[in-house]
Amino acid sequence: MRSEITDALVVGGGAAGMAAAVELDQQGFSVALIEREDELGGVLLQCIHNGFGLQEFNEELTGPEYAERWIETVKKSKIQVFTSSTLTEINLLERNLKECFIYSAVHGVLRFTTRTVVLAMGCRERNRGNVLIPGTRPAGVYTAGLAQRMVNIDGYIPGKEVVIVGSGDIGLIMARRMQWVGAKVHGVVEIQPYPSGLTRNISQCLHDFDIPLYLSHVVSRIHGIDRVEAVDITPLKNGVPDQSRTFRQKCDTLLLSVGLIPENELSKQVGIELNPLTGGPMVDSMLMSNIEGVFAAGNVLHVHDLVDFVSAEARLAGQKAGAYLRGWRPKLEVQVKPGANVKYVNPTKVDPTGQSEIFLRPLIVSNHVSLTLSLDGTVIKRQKKAHVQPSEMIRIKVNSKIFDQHTLKGDTKIVVGLEEMD
């Protein structure tokens, strides 16, 4: 078994992993980047549509193009890249060292000893079992991301007559993709009263093709023995299915776009404390988990809707992991809590002496909202927001200046809320 030593080991070679690895490399640390597929890029490689990169590169790129920019940067670095390699186990050793086992057809089993680990494994799709759709179990039921891979990478079209459950962005993008490869999409069924994807995708992926969007509806049953033959669609009335208004839609394929969950099996195995609201690790102002030297960024930390935010967050994780390696720690941290109409905030701690960024996920759809930051009960910042909705994460910058007039203690708290105005 080959044994290696490194300053930092980054798990996952997608958008987050590459950004974190590049940052650590630029700070002069030795970095190993572990990727299970045979090339870097992660899920971006199957996202052939455009709309990526406006923040990072100031232009609109497709997923593969966005990935390629980062891959070029990685190539020019000293990062040791291990593709076709799966990290299966992390063990905690003495003096905060970590032992990582990596399985690979190319390299055999690798044993890495490292001072820091950056988790960047991304997320996975919720599936039929998670949302408990009743009915038969025929072929033709796929998560939207799997269908996207089948069409865009492998070149096989999973079906001809399609219904999509959930109006998440991958589902919407796949609606257009299926239309563009000659299939017919009969409708998108969304349990919420509002769409969960971006407005732009509703417009260009559904309206352009006259695809009906059934808000406040559920797929209540799947029919078909060997292959999907039809689904029952039921409207909700006061939040519960109104069976009397169920209608049947013939189709041979059901695509599910019903949410993403951070991939944290490895994190759980190491003993990382997870945030039940995000499904990702609880992290401090350094994006470090409760385990010394283990950091997290990107969709493994919380599910983002823009890859540009993933890159930015991972760059920060790389910076902080570098600072950690040099022995730096924040002197004092201020806790951040979600307030009114906010599902979660991330990270849950900030360093009051530096610039910080906080992501928050709204719980409401509104065009008249004021975002407020309160420090131990006193409002210290108020910002008008023209529009908020759950599918669009809000990023706020917190300047150290706002803490100037306050005496900070160990239990000082910031609460971030969204107040609806009349």
Q: Which of 129, 152, 146, 135 is nearest to 49 (CA)?
A: 152
> Which strands make up the sheet holding 342-346, listed edge to edge?
342-346, 356-362, 394-398
Which residue among 78, 245, 248, 387 contacts another protein (CB under 8 A)?
387
The number of CA neighbours under 13 Å toward the Cβ of 105 is 4
Asked if 309 contacts 393 with a C-beta cutoff of 8 angstroms, the reply is yes
Which residue among 319, 353, 389, 412 contacts another protein (CB under 8 A)?
389
SS3 298: helix
Q: Which stretch binds another protein (CB under 8 A): 9-17, 223-231, 344-352, 395-403?
A: 223-231
When asked if residue 57 is in the footprint of another protein (CB under 8 A), the reply is no
Q: Which stretch binds another protein (CB under 8 A): 126-134, 332-340, 345-353, 409-417?
A: 126-134
Residues 266-305 that bind another protein (CB under 8 A): 268
Q: Which stretch binds another protein (CB under 8 A): 121-129, 278-286, 337-345, 414-422?
A: 121-129
Angle at CA 202, nearest 5°, toward 198 and 207?
165
Q: Which stretch binds another protein (CB under 8 A): 73-81, 314-322, 350-358, 385-393?
A: 385-393
**What tokens does 312 get?**
């930015």
When asked if residue 50 is in the footprint of another protein (CB under 8 A), the reply is yes
* CA–CA separation, 416 and 358 (whole Å): 9
Residues 161-220 that bind another protein (CB under 8 A): 180-181, 183, 198-200, 202-204, 207-208, 220
| H/E run at residue 375 | strand 369-375
Residues 79-118 that bind another protein (CB under 8 A): 84, 86, 88-89, 101, 103-109, 111
Residues 319-358 that bind another protein (CB under 8 A): none
When asked if residue 135 is in the footprint of another protein (CB under 8 A), the reply is yes
- Residues in the interface with another protein (CB under 8 A) total 81
Which residue among 6, 167, 196, 253 contacts another protein (CB under 8 A)?
253
Which residue among 3, 76, 94, 155 contacts another protein (CB under 8 A)?
155
Tokens 């930390």 belong to: 301
The number of CA neighbours under 13 Å toward the Cβ of 285 is 20
Contacts from 270-273 at CB under 8 Å and sequence distance 24+? 270/90, 270/92, 270/294, 271/92, 272/296
Q: How far is the CB of 102 from another protein (least distance, A)?
A: 9
Q: Whose Cβ is closer to another protein: residue 79's or residue 219's?
A: 219
Which residue among 98, 128, 304, 349 contacts another protein (CB under 8 A)?
128
Asked if 109 contacts 4 with a C-beta cutoff of 8 angstroms, the reply is no
When asked if residue 150 is in the footprint of another protein (CB under 8 A), the reply is yes
When asked if residue 308 is in the footprint of another protein (CB under 8 A), the reply is no
Burial status of residue 354 (CB atoms within 10 A of its CB: 0-12, 13-18, 19 or more): exposed
Q: Whose Cβ is closer to another protein: residue 4's or residue 65's?
A: 65
When asked if residue 125 is in the footprint of another protein (CB under 8 A), the reply is yes
When asked if residue 151 is in the footprint of another protein (CB under 8 A), the reply is yes
Could you tell me whether strands 369-375 and 260-262 are parallel, antiparallel, or unpaired per DSSP bridges? unpaired
